[in-house]
Amino acid sequence: MTGTEVAVPMLRWGILGTGWISTMFTKDLLADRPDADCRHAISAVGSSSISKGKTFVANCWKETTTHTRPRVYDSYQAVYTDTNVDIVYVGTPHSEHKKNCLDAIAAGKHVLCEKPLTINAKEGQEVVDAAREKGVFLMEAVWTRFSPLFSALKEELFVKKTIGDVHRMFVDFGNKMPLDTLPSTHRLKDPALGAGALLDIGIYALTYASVILGDWKLGLQHPTPVVTSSLDIHDGMDLSNVIVLDYPSKDTTGHESTKTAICTSSFKCKSPDDFARIDGSCGSILIFGLAASVPGGFRILLYPASPGEEKSETERIFTVEKPKDTLGFFWEADAVARDIAAGRTENAVVPLDESIRMMQLMDKIRKDAGLVYPQDTV
């Protein structure tokens, strides 16, 4: 390497779990991205059985891929001790996150753990404390936060102030689930596994609202909203929820006011393509996509300065661009690779204090509704 060349960050991953989220994450890392500034290799896969692990590999590694196939283990511990693994991706059910993270951290591995980081804030703090003490990298995999959509929104809302003062926001994640056909032991139905819409998909709606109405302040710097909520609880899990976040604010004239976010999520119905709307004094921004977890872009609509006037600008659209057959997990993985290469142990976009804050928020919402998981009583 010459003095003008820069080393490309490289990470060797161990994957825990072979479900949908691990599959999508792995396929994104294996996607052909000629211009990528980071490199990723999947060194190991941990599953409950060798056969499940091999099926996972056959599904993710196509015959045309140049990526080396990983070693398949029938235990997670074998992934932690594999010397060819730099970082562990935790794609297991919510209830397993704490143990998986603690075990990987104890083995000296970096960790990227799917959201929610844990079942509750108490568990989350244990994991964060362990990572900080060990000196390894840890991040909650709120992958949507690394989409170019968020930086584009920040530019429009806080730099250009395109829609003026932001006053309110609506964001919904509806994902109709065939719960009647699933066994009671399924992760979407079993309270012991953290079942329910809030932890599974509601966290996305809360993330949009918190980041945008919280003026991009995270963790300990995040303003404290007034929280009102309602959960539709059946068999120890919430099928749907409505959460209102009221943030103290001041408009451009200095007058005190309140910004309000209405966040909803549901297993009973699917959201429309326009899943979120941000309303300001001069216009609105409509966010669209497959779901709140996979934003496709946004449309800006500017309103007349006064009733009867024509629009001052036509509709403007921002579209998220990504390689064919990818969802966007690679943006998150690249950010992790750059952090670790730079010697950082947490990420500025999803810092650990923000993950704990979000867990505390969801703890409060569940407590107010009387939704208790077995882990809350330990």
Residues 88 and 25 in one domain: yes
Distance CA 281, CA 346 (A): 36
pLDDT of residue 191: 94
pLDDT of residue 135: 98
- pTM value is 0.94
Closest to 243 in 3D by CA, of 212, 210, 200, 274: 210
Residue 17 lies in a domain: yes
Residue 1 lies in a domain: no
Q: Residues 289, 292, 298, 303: is their CA dihedral positive or negative?
A: positive
Query: Order of strands, edge to edge, in the sheet holding 138-141?
Result: 71-73, 39-46, 10-16, 87-90, 110-114, 138-141
What H or E segment, with its residue span, contains residue 238? strand 237-250
pLDDT of residue 369: 97
Closest to 124 in 3D by CA, of 356, 318, 325: 356
Residues 340 and 362 in one domain: no
pLDDT of residue 2: 45
Q: Residue 190 maps to which CATH number?
A: 3.30.360.10
From first to last of its 378 residues, the chain has per-residue pLDDT tens of 444 445 778 999 999 999 999 999 999 999 999 889 999 999 999 999 999 999 999 999 987 678 899 999 999 999 999 999 999 999 999 999 999 999 999 999 999 999 999 999 999 999 999 999 999 999 999 999 999 999 999 999 999 999 999 999 999 999 999 999 999 999 999 999 999 999 999 999 999 999 999 999 999 999 999 999 999 999 999 999 999 999 998 776 778 889 999 999 999 999 999 999 999 999 999 999 999 999 999 999 998 766 666 655 557 899 999 998 899 999 999 999 999 999 999 999 999 999 999 999 999 999 999 999 999 998
Residue 2 lies in a domain: no
Contact predicate 292/170, CB 8 Å:
no
How many CB atoms sit inside 10 A of residue 75's CB?
11
Split into its structural domains, the chain has a count of: 2
Residue 4 lies in a domain: no
Please, which residues have CB within 8 angstroms of residue 63's CB and are 6 or more apart in sequence?
none
pLDDT of residue 253: 74
Residues 115 and 164 in one domain: no
Residues 159 and 199 in one domain: yes
pLDDT of residue 3: 47
Q: Residue 77 maps to which CATH number?
A: 3.40.50.720
